[in-house]
């Protein structure tokens, strides 16, 4: 999406949501000055927080990453969420850097998609209770909760939100066995939603469920017929098993 398209989308969502839920928008990039300015524009539209991905391609060191996020936080009054996804950005934000960033008043959370539970545990140990760590991988939601994480910023929840919510409620209320069973049941669908580069699979599935979200733009491409068939088979198997209470154990 272009800069103007993103701002138009943010403005539309803020207007439609009308305060019923929090609106967090992605404003990150690999140009610090532009990312900070874009975050400020988004904040001025009334969003509740901005989320900035780690600077991609440039591969800055940890000092550069810290300075990047500090520059963004300095430009906005709204909360800032760090997004660590080294599989796409090609740079990992170390636990030490995230802990240091957490001391900036309006840097309040991290979406952690490194897949490294040891790193996440170190972040949780080193930050205060007001700083939240969210899983950035659906398949690690329950493990992240078990080490003290606060939830997930989810792809799968676009299509199985009630089931994800119930799993997290089960865990938070001490029903760990039930939560684990739901987690295992959802894993095949979680994996299938990333069998092709995201967001192509989730958009294809939403369209099949009559939630019209349009297609993807190049360089992303639509699923092949075979990929879509596989995704639908996994989704329908999940819904069948979920409704019948099958957990395999």
Rounded mean pLDDT, 94-119: 99
Asked if residue 166 belongs to a domain, the reply is no
Asked if residue 174 belongs to a domain, the reply is no
Q: How far apart are CA 140 and CA 183, in angstroms?
A: 9
Question: pTM of the full predicted structure?
Answer: 0.94
pLDDT greater than 60 at residue 219: yes
Q: How far apart are CA 163 and CA 43, in angstroms?
A: 32
Rounded mean pLDDT, 154-158: 98
Contact between residue 63 and residue 49 where contact means Cβ atoms under 8 Å apart:
no
Q: How far apart are CA 103 and CA 126, in angstroms?
A: 10
33 and 121 share one domain: yes
- Per-residue pLDDT band for 119 (boundaries 50, 70, 90) equals very high
Contacts of 172 (CB under 8 A, 6+ apart): 145
In the beta sheet, which residues pair with residue 249? none
140 and 196 share one domain: no
Contacts of residues 159-162 at CB distance under 8 Å and 24 or more positions apart, as own/partner, are 159/189, 159/193, 159/202, 159/205, 159/206, 159/209, 159/235, 160/186, 160/189, 160/238
Active site residues: 83, 111
Asked if residue 171 belongs to a domain, the reply is no
CATH number of the domain enclosing 8: 3.20.20.70
Domain of 244, in residue numbers: 180-249
Expressed in angstroms, the distance from the first to the final Cα of the chain is 44
DSSP 109: E
Q: How far apart are CA 52 and CA 65, in angstroms?
A: 11
Asked if residue 95 belongs to a domain, the reply is yes
Tell me, what's the pLDDT at 40? 98
pLDDT greater than 70 at residue 99: yes
Rounded mean pLDDT, 5-16: 98
DSSP 224: P
Q: 185-214: per-residue pLDDT in tens?
A: 999 999 999 999 999 999 999 999 999 999
Tell me, what's the pLDDT at 66? 99
153 labeled binding residue: yes
pLDDT greater than 80 at residue 248: no
- Per-residue pLDDT band for 104 (boundaries 50, 70, 90) equals very high
Asked if residue 144 belongs to a domain, the reply is yes
Q: Where is the domain boundary, 137, 153, 169?
A: 153
Query: Per the structure, how many domains does the chain have?
Result: 2
- Per-residue pLDDT band for 82 (boundaries 50, 70, 90) equals very high
Tell me, what's the pLDDT at 242? 86
184 and 147 share one domain: no
pLDDT greater than 70 at residue 164: yes
């Amino acid at each position: 999406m272009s800069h103007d398209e993103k701002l138009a989308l943010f403005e539309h969502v803020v207007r439609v949501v009308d305060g019923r839920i929090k609106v967090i928008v992605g404003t990150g990039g690999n140009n610090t000055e532009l990312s900070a300015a874009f975050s400020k524009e988004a904040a001025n539209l009334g969003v509740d927080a901005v989320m900035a991905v780690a600077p991609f391609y440039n591969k800055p060191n940890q000092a550069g990453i810290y300075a990047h996020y500090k520059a963004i936080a300095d430009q906005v009054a709204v909360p800032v969420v760090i997004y660590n996804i080294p599989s796409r950005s090609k740079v990992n934000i170390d636990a030490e850097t995230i802990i240091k960033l957490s001391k900036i008043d309006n840097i309040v959370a991290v979406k952690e998609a490194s897949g490294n539970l040891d790193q996440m545990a170190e972040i949780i140990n080193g930050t205060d209770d007001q700083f939240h760590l969210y899983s950035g991988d659906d398949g690690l939601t329950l493990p992240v909760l078990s080490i003290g994480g606060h939830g997930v910023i989810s792809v799968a929840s676009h299509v199985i939100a009630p089931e994800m919510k119930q799993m997290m409620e089960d865990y938070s209320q001490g029903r760990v066995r039930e939560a684990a069973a739901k987690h295992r049941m959802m894993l095949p669908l979680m994996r299938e939603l990333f069998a092709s580069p995201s967001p192509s699979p989730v958009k294809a599935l939403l369209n099949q469920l009559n939630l019209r979200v349009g297609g993807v733009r190049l360089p992303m491409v639509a699923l092949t017929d075979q990929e879509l068939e596989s995704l639908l088979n996994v989704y329908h198997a999940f819904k069948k098993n979920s409704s019948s209470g099958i957990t395999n154990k």
